[in-house]
Protein backbone atom coordinates (compact mmCIF):
# COMPACT_ATOMS: atom_id res chain seq x y z
CA UNK A 1 0.00 0.00 0.00
CA UNK A 2 2.81 2.40 0.89
CA UNK A 3 4.52 1.70 -2.43
CA UNK A 4 1.28 2.30 -4.35
CA UNK A 5 0.63 5.55 -2.46
CA UNK A 6 4.19 6.70 -3.18
CA UNK A 7 3.71 6.02 -6.90
CA UNK A 8 0.44 7.97 -6.90
CA UNK A 9 2.14 10.93 -5.21
CA UNK A 10 4.92 10.86 -7.80
CA UNK A 11 2.30 10.99 -10.57
CA UNK A 12 0.35 13.72 -8.80
CA UNK A 13 3.28 16.12 -8.28
CA UNK A 14 3.93 16.73 -12.04
CA UNK A 15 0.20 17.26 -12.57
CA UNK A 16 0.03 19.84 -9.79
CA UNK A 17 3.13 21.53 -11.18
CA UNK A 18 1.55 21.70 -14.66
CA UNK A 19 -1.66 23.18 -13.24
CA UNK A 20 0.32 25.88 -11.40
CA UNK A 21 2.30 26.72 -14.55
CA UNK A 22 -0.93 26.85 -16.60
CA UNK A 23 -2.48 29.31 -14.15
CA UNK A 24 0.66 31.47 -14.21
CA UNK A 25 0.66 31.66 -18.02
CA UNK A 26 -3.11 32.01 -18.52
CA UNK A 27 -3.82 34.53 -15.75
CA UNK A 28 -2.28 37.58 -17.55
CA UNK A 29 -4.53 36.91 -20.56
CA UNK A 30 -7.61 36.57 -18.37
CA UNK A 31 -6.67 39.71 -16.43
CA UNK A 32 -6.24 41.58 -19.73
CA UNK A 33 -9.85 40.73 -20.63
CA UNK A 34 -10.98 41.82 -17.16
CA UNK A 35 -9.20 45.18 -17.39
CA UNK A 36 -10.76 45.80 -20.80
CA UNK A 37 -14.21 45.80 -19.14
CA UNK A 38 -13.27 48.25 -16.36
CA UNK A 39 -13.00 52.04 -16.43
CA UNK A 40 -9.71 53.92 -16.58
CA UNK A 41 -10.05 54.86 -12.91
CA UNK A 42 -10.69 51.27 -11.82
CA UNK A 43 -7.61 50.03 -13.66
CA UNK A 44 -5.33 52.00 -11.31
CA UNK A 45 -7.31 51.17 -8.20
CA UNK A 46 -5.67 49.24 -5.37
CA UNK A 47 -6.29 46.40 -5.01
CA UNK A 48 -6.67 46.00 -8.79
CA UNK A 49 -9.96 44.65 -10.16
CA UNK A 50 -10.15 40.89 -10.48
CA UNK A 51 -13.74 40.71 -11.75
CA UNK A 52 -15.26 41.99 -15.03
CA UNK A 53 -16.70 45.50 -14.98
CA UNK A 54 -19.52 47.19 -16.89
CA UNK A 55 -17.47 49.63 -19.00
CA UNK A 56 -16.88 47.39 -22.02
CA UNK A 57 -19.16 49.33 -24.37
CA UNK A 58 -17.76 52.71 -23.29
CA UNK A 59 -14.20 51.47 -23.74
CA UNK A 60 -15.07 50.13 -27.17
CA UNK A 61 -16.64 53.41 -28.31
CA UNK A 62 -13.67 55.38 -27.00
CA UNK A 63 -11.30 53.01 -28.79
CA UNK A 64 -13.01 53.62 -32.13
CA UNK A 65 -13.16 57.38 -31.57
CA UNK A 66 -9.47 57.71 -30.71
CA UNK A 67 -7.81 55.59 -33.41
CA UNK A 68 -8.92 53.92 -36.69
CA UNK A 69 -8.77 50.57 -34.92
CA UNK A 70 -10.46 48.33 -37.47
CA UNK A 71 -8.35 49.84 -40.24
CA UNK A 72 -5.23 49.05 -38.21
CA UNK A 73 -6.56 45.55 -37.53
CA UNK A 74 -7.13 44.93 -41.24
CA UNK A 75 -3.62 46.17 -41.99
CA UNK A 76 -2.20 43.65 -39.53
CA UNK A 77 -4.31 40.84 -40.99
CA UNK A 78 -3.37 41.22 -44.62
CA UNK A 79 0.28 42.16 -43.96
CA UNK A 80 0.70 39.09 -41.76
CA UNK A 81 -1.04 36.77 -44.24
CA UNK A 82 0.86 38.02 -47.29
CA UNK A 83 4.24 38.01 -45.54
CA UNK A 84 3.58 34.50 -44.19
CA UNK A 85 2.66 33.15 -47.64
CA UNK A 86 5.76 34.75 -49.12
CA UNK A 87 7.95 33.27 -46.37
CA UNK A 88 6.49 29.80 -46.91
CA UNK A 89 7.21 29.93 -50.64
CA UNK A 90 10.72 31.38 -50.41
CA UNK A 91 11.85 29.21 -47.50
CA UNK A 92 10.43 25.97 -48.91
CA UNK A 93 11.85 26.68 -52.37
CA UNK A 94 15.28 27.53 -50.95
CA UNK A 95 15.16 24.45 -48.73
CA UNK A 96 14.33 22.32 -51.76
CA UNK A 97 17.50 23.53 -53.46
CA UNK A 98 19.63 22.87 -50.38
CA UNK A 99 18.14 19.42 -49.77
CA UNK A 100 18.12 18.41 -53.43
CA UNK A 101 21.53 19.59 -54.66
CA UNK A 102 23.83 18.72 -51.78
CA UNK A 103 26.75 18.16 -54.15
CA UNK A 104 26.49 21.59 -55.82
CA UNK A 105 29.66 23.76 -55.84
CA UNK A 106 29.85 26.02 -52.80
CA UNK A 107 27.00 24.20 -51.04
CA UNK A 108 28.66 24.30 -47.63
CA UNK A 109 29.50 27.99 -47.88
CA UNK A 110 25.94 28.95 -48.79
CA UNK A 111 24.65 26.80 -45.95
CA UNK A 112 27.06 28.48 -43.53
CA UNK A 113 25.81 31.88 -44.70
CA UNK A 114 22.22 30.86 -43.90
CA UNK A 115 23.19 29.60 -40.44
CA UNK A 116 25.36 32.65 -39.78
CA UNK A 117 22.51 34.99 -40.75
CA UNK A 118 20.42 33.55 -37.92
CA UNK A 119 23.01 34.75 -35.42
CA UNK A 120 23.05 38.36 -36.68
CA UNK A 121 20.73 40.62 -34.62
CA UNK A 122 18.16 42.41 -36.81
CA UNK A 123 19.17 45.78 -35.31
CA UNK A 124 22.70 45.34 -36.66
CA UNK A 125 21.50 45.96 -40.20
CA UNK A 126 18.70 48.42 -39.54
CA UNK A 127 20.48 51.43 -41.12
CA UNK A 128 21.34 49.83 -44.51
CA UNK A 129 17.92 48.17 -44.48
CA UNK A 130 16.22 51.56 -44.06
CA UNK A 131 18.36 53.10 -46.81
CA UNK A 132 17.36 50.27 -49.15
CA UNK A 133 13.68 50.66 -48.29
CA UNK A 134 13.94 54.42 -48.90
CA UNK A 135 15.69 53.94 -52.27
CA UNK A 136 12.86 51.61 -53.36
CA UNK A 137 10.24 54.20 -52.41
CA UNK A 138 8.60 51.93 -49.85
CA UNK A 139 8.51 54.42 -46.98
CA UNK A 140 4.96 54.65 -45.58
CA UNK A 141 3.87 51.58 -47.57
CA UNK A 142 3.12 48.03 -46.49
CA UNK A 143 5.55 46.63 -49.05
CA UNK A 144 8.33 47.39 -46.56
CA UNK A 145 6.65 44.99 -44.12
CA UNK A 146 5.86 42.23 -46.62
CA UNK A 147 8.70 41.82 -49.13
CA UNK A 148 11.74 41.99 -46.77
CA UNK A 149 10.05 39.47 -44.48
CA UNK A 150 10.81 36.76 -47.05
CA UNK A 151 14.49 36.94 -45.99
CA UNK A 152 13.91 34.67 -43.00
CA UNK A 153 17.12 32.67 -42.36
CA UNK A 154 15.60 30.60 -39.56
CA UNK A 155 12.73 29.60 -41.86
CA UNK A 156 15.17 28.44 -44.52
CA UNK A 157 17.25 26.50 -41.97
CA UNK A 158 14.11 24.97 -40.47
CA UNK A 159 12.79 23.79 -43.83
CA UNK A 160 16.22 22.46 -44.91
CA UNK A 161 16.38 20.20 -41.87
CA UNK A 162 12.76 19.16 -42.21
CA UNK A 163 13.07 18.44 -45.94
CA UNK A 164 16.14 16.27 -45.42
CA UNK A 165 14.24 14.15 -42.91
CA UNK A 166 10.86 14.05 -44.64
CA UNK A 167 11.96 13.51 -48.26
CA UNK A 168 14.32 10.58 -48.97
CA UNK A 169 17.06 11.26 -51.52
CA UNK A 170 15.92 8.18 -53.49
CA UNK A 171 12.55 9.83 -54.06
CA UNK A 172 14.20 12.66 -56.00
CA UNK A 173 16.00 10.19 -58.21
CA UNK A 174 12.87 8.12 -58.85
CA UNK A 175 10.88 11.21 -59.82
CA UNK A 176 13.70 12.36 -62.08
CA UNK A 177 13.83 8.96 -63.83
CA UNK A 178 10.08 9.21 -64.44
CA UNK A 179 10.68 12.46 -66.34
CA UNK A 180 9.43 14.92 -63.71
CA UNK A 181 10.85 18.43 -63.88
CA UNK A 182 12.37 20.12 -60.85
CA UNK A 183 9.32 22.37 -60.40
CA UNK A 184 7.00 19.37 -60.58
CA UNK A 185 9.08 17.49 -58.02
CA UNK A 186 8.97 20.51 -55.73
CA UNK A 187 5.24 21.15 -56.07
CA UNK A 188 3.74 17.67 -56.35
CA UNK A 189 6.15 15.57 -54.28
CA UNK A 190 8.07 17.73 -51.83
CA UNK A 191 5.34 20.16 -50.74
CA UNK A 192 2.86 17.43 -49.62
CA UNK A 193 5.58 15.69 -47.61
CA UNK A 194 6.81 18.83 -45.83
CA UNK A 195 3.34 20.24 -45.13
CA UNK A 196 3.61 19.73 -41.33
CA UNK A 197 6.88 21.67 -41.31
CA UNK A 198 5.25 24.42 -43.35
CA UNK A 199 2.39 24.53 -40.84
CA UNK A 200 4.80 25.10 -37.96
CA UNK A 201 6.68 27.74 -39.94
CA UNK A 202 3.40 29.46 -40.87
CA UNK A 203 2.42 29.87 -37.22
CA UNK A 204 5.84 31.24 -36.25
CA UNK A 205 5.94 33.62 -39.23
CA UNK A 206 2.39 34.85 -38.66
CA UNK A 207 3.12 35.55 -34.99
CA UNK A 208 6.34 37.39 -35.80
CA UNK A 209 4.60 39.59 -38.35
CA UNK A 210 1.52 40.17 -36.19
CA UNK A 211 3.44 41.36 -33.14
CA UNK A 212 6.08 43.31 -35.06
CA UNK A 213 6.44 46.82 -33.71
CA UNK A 214 9.90 48.09 -34.62
CA UNK A 215 9.61 47.80 -38.41
CA UNK A 216 6.18 49.50 -38.70
CA UNK A 217 7.42 52.22 -36.33
CA UNK A 218 10.34 52.99 -38.66
CA UNK A 219 8.63 52.93 -42.07
CA UNK A 220 4.98 53.90 -41.48
CA UNK A 221 3.91 57.51 -41.03
CA UNK A 222 0.17 57.57 -41.84
CA UNK A 223 -2.10 56.57 -38.98
CA UNK A 224 -4.51 54.77 -41.30
CA UNK A 225 -1.65 52.51 -42.43
CA UNK A 226 -0.55 51.55 -38.92
CA UNK A 227 -0.73 47.96 -37.76
CA UNK A 228 -2.41 47.14 -34.44
CA UNK A 229 0.72 47.20 -32.20
CA UNK A 230 1.67 50.61 -33.58
CA UNK A 231 -1.87 51.96 -33.62
CA UNK A 232 -2.45 51.17 -29.94
CA UNK A 233 0.47 53.41 -28.99
CA UNK A 234 -1.66 56.38 -30.13
CA UNK A 235 -4.41 55.44 -27.72
CA UNK A 236 -3.85 58.38 -25.40
CA UNK A 237 -6.20 60.93 -23.89
CA UNK A 238 -5.84 64.10 -21.87
CA UNK A 239 -5.43 61.89 -18.81
CA UNK A 240 -2.55 59.91 -20.33
CA UNK A 241 -2.50 56.43 -21.81
CA UNK A 242 -5.94 54.83 -22.00
CA UNK A 243 -4.95 51.53 -20.37
CA UNK A 244 -8.41 49.98 -20.46
CA UNK A 245 -8.70 50.89 -24.15
CA UNK A 246 -5.29 49.38 -24.85
CA UNK A 247 -6.34 46.20 -23.04
CA UNK A 248 -9.54 46.03 -25.09
CA UNK A 249 -7.71 46.63 -28.36
CA UNK A 250 -5.13 44.00 -27.46
CA UNK A 251 -7.86 41.53 -26.47
CA UNK A 252 -9.53 41.90 -29.86
CA UNK A 253 -6.23 41.71 -31.71
CA UNK A 254 -5.27 38.33 -30.27
CA UNK A 255 -8.40 36.68 -31.67
CA UNK A 256 -6.89 36.23 -35.19
CA UNK A 257 -3.88 34.56 -33.54
CA UNK A 258 -6.14 32.06 -31.81
CA UNK A 259 -8.01 31.44 -35.06
CA UNK A 260 -4.77 30.93 -36.99
CA UNK A 261 -3.48 28.52 -34.35
CA UNK A 262 -6.73 26.53 -34.33
CA UNK A 263 -6.55 26.01 -38.09
CA UNK A 264 -2.84 25.18 -38.13
CA UNK A 265 -2.33 23.61 -34.68
CA UNK A 266 -2.34 20.07 -36.06
CA UNK A 267 0.41 20.87 -38.57
CA UNK A 268 2.24 22.97 -35.98
CA UNK A 269 2.44 20.18 -33.40
CA UNK A 270 3.15 17.55 -36.03
CA UNK A 271 5.86 19.72 -37.56
CA UNK A 272 7.59 20.22 -34.22
CA UNK A 273 7.44 16.57 -33.19
CA UNK A 274 8.16 14.80 -36.47
CA UNK A 275 11.82 15.75 -36.43
CA UNK A 276 12.41 14.26 -32.99
CA UNK A 277 10.49 11.09 -33.86
CA UNK A 278 12.34 10.50 -37.10
Quick: pLDDT tens for 63-91.
888 888 899 999 999 999 999 999 999 99
- Indicate the SS3 state at residue 61: helix
- Low-confidence spans in the chain with pLDDT less than 50: 238, 276-278
Q: Which residues contact 255 (CB under 8 A, 6 or more apart)?
A: none
77: left (phi over 0), alpha (psi -120 to 50) or beta: alpha
Predicted pLDDT of residue 277: 43
Q: Supply the DSSP symbol for 149.
A: G
Q: How far is CA 119 from CA 130, 154, 202, 217, in A?
A: 20, 9, 21, 23
Domain at 60-277: CATH code:
1.10.3720.10
- pLDDT at res. 182: 87
pLDDT at 237: 54
The whole-angstrom separation of Cα 86 and Cα 121 is 22
Residue count (the chain): 278
Question: What pLDDT is recorded for position 265?
Answer: 67
Amino acid sequence: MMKKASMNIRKLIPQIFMVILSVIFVFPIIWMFILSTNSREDVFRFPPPLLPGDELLNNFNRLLETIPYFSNLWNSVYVSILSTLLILFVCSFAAYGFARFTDAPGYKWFFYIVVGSIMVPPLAGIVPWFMEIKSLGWIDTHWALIIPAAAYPFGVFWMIQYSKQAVPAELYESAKLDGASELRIYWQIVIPLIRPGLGALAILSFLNSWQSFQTPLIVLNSEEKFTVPLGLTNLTTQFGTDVSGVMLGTSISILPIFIAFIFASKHFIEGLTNGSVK
